[in-house]
Amino acid sequence: MIDLPLGGSRPIPKHWKLYSVDEIKSPEPYSCVAGPFGSNISSKYFVDQGVPVIRGKNLTDDLTRFVPENFVFVTEQRARQKYVAQHVQAGDLVFTCWGTIGQVGFIPEDGPYPEYIISNKQLKLRVNPEIANPLFVYYYLASREGAEHIRNRATGSAVPGINLGILKSLKVALPSLPTQQKIVAILSAYDDLIDNNNRRIALLEEAIHRLYREWFVHLHFPGHEHTPVVAGVPEGWEKRPIKDTFEITGGGTPRRKEERYWADGTINWFTPSDLTKFRSMFRDSSSEKISEAGFSNSSARMFPPYSVMMTSRATIGVIAINTVEATTNQGFITCIPNERVPLYFLYCWLTANVTVFENYATGATFKEISKGVFKKIPVLLPSQSLLKDFHEIVEPMAKQILNLQRQNQYLAEARDSLLPRLMNGSLPV
């Protein structure tokens, strides 16, 4: 019996073979390497465009293959001269080795860039295609069980990490290449549906924000040609501070040492990571829940479904709509829509003004915008009839987004239940 990420202490299935990562790496040079030494790829070498650098924010631990955004860049010359070993391309695997252990990425065929550089906190693996299907290895090591297995191998208490030796020693049980391909095809079918839904969600969100900008930023709203503008404000519109426009609330954290505040909790309690991890328009539930006792003995405040949560410290301006009654920790300002400020206008207004909120933020350790400062920010409110028209157009698109998000949740759950059984041979193909 061998302790395997996806097999526990079960025997290796008949006709499967056990390999180390070191044994399945490509025979070409630099197929399994660590990132550059830290001082060789620090921020002083970053430029506006060039070869993108993969960092932790481009990887996840939830079987999202790759997050193609928020890149920093180095010049092509520096990439060629200093980071030859750290180039990655389509089909390569990337692992976070310091910090958030268990993050595994798979570089896609469809870009957005033909090549990348890994940072000093990543490891690279290029698989030998004569032994292993790269996507099979990705699913094996990026699964919930695989990520946990990697985390259990980490060293260090304050900042956990894995080194190249640990990565190379990880064990992977492989069936024949044709069987690997069949398993990959089954799992990829779910991921392809999720990706297609994500593209539809992105298009719908862009349509919503584009309409908001067209009507309420560029002032090309229906009837604008015949609406007088006085001091930059169309007739029938008004400018008010937030405190006179809609209600806001904050949050709090029950004492962690009080087990009864957390045990069997039923009240949704959002933290900023619930929003930053998923970056979705809607959130159906929080990763942690608090009990009635925890709620009663903390400064957490309950707010109704379809309010707008916004992170207000450190990472300012990550925004999502809760679909259930909820609370948050103290890292939020939650905005509650009303008849004068309907939900989707409020959501778009907040999203459009993140830079404004960041500029109002203060703090030495981390930036934060306080509720007192936030309340004083002015809001330009269109006429109620125009807001009603906007809401009637946007609401069906928002409902489509929510339905697609929920479809993706069901697809991911189905894939995740199949994955370990396919990967340990208990479900034949």
Indicate the SS3 state at residue 296: helix
pLDDT digits (tens, 9 = 90+) for 284-309: 999 999 999 999 999 999 999 999 99
Question: Greater confidence, 38 or 127?
Answer: 127
The helix (H) or strand (E) run that includes residue 210 is: helix 177-212
Sequence-distant contacts of 64-73: CB under 8 A, at least 24 apart: 65/105, 65/106, 65/108, 65/138, 65/142, 65/191, 66/105, 66/106, 66/107, 66/108, 67/105, 68/108, 68/111, 68/112, 68/113, 71/113, 72/43, 72/46, 73/46, 73/47, 73/48, 73/49
Q: Rounded to whole angstroms, how far apart are CA atoms 417 and 58?
A: 25
Half-sphere exposure of 255 (CA within 13 A, CB side): 7
pLDDT digits (tens, 9 = 90+) for 90-123: 999 999 999 899 999 999 998 899 999 999 999 9
Question: Greater confidence, 115 or 157?
Answer: 115
Q: Which of 107-111, 148-152, 406-410 has the highest mean pLDDT?
A: 406-410
C-alpha distances out from residue 120 to 95, 222, 229, 417, Å? 11, 52, 54, 34
Of 134, 124, 116, nearest in space to 69 by CA: 116
Amino acid type, 364: A
Structural domains in the chain?
17-174 (3.90.220.20), 238-381 (3.90.220.20)
104 contacts 388 by C-beta, under 8 angstroms: no
77 contacts 138 by C-beta, under 8 angstroms: no
334 contacts 250 by C-beta, under 8 angstroms: yes
First-to-final CA distance of the chain: 23
Asked if residue 1 has pLDDT above 50, the reply is no
pLDDT digits (tens, 9 = 90+) for 321-330: 999 999 999 9
* Per-residue model confidence (pLDDT) at position 318: 97
Indicate the SS3 state at residue 52: strand
184 is written with which tokens? Answer: 């990959």
Q: Rounded to whole angstroms, how far apart are CA atoms 309 and 331?
A: 10
What is the pTM assigned to this prediction? 0.90
Asked if residue 248 has pLDDT above 60, the reply is yes
Amino acid type, 263: A
Indicate the SS3 state at residue 142: helix
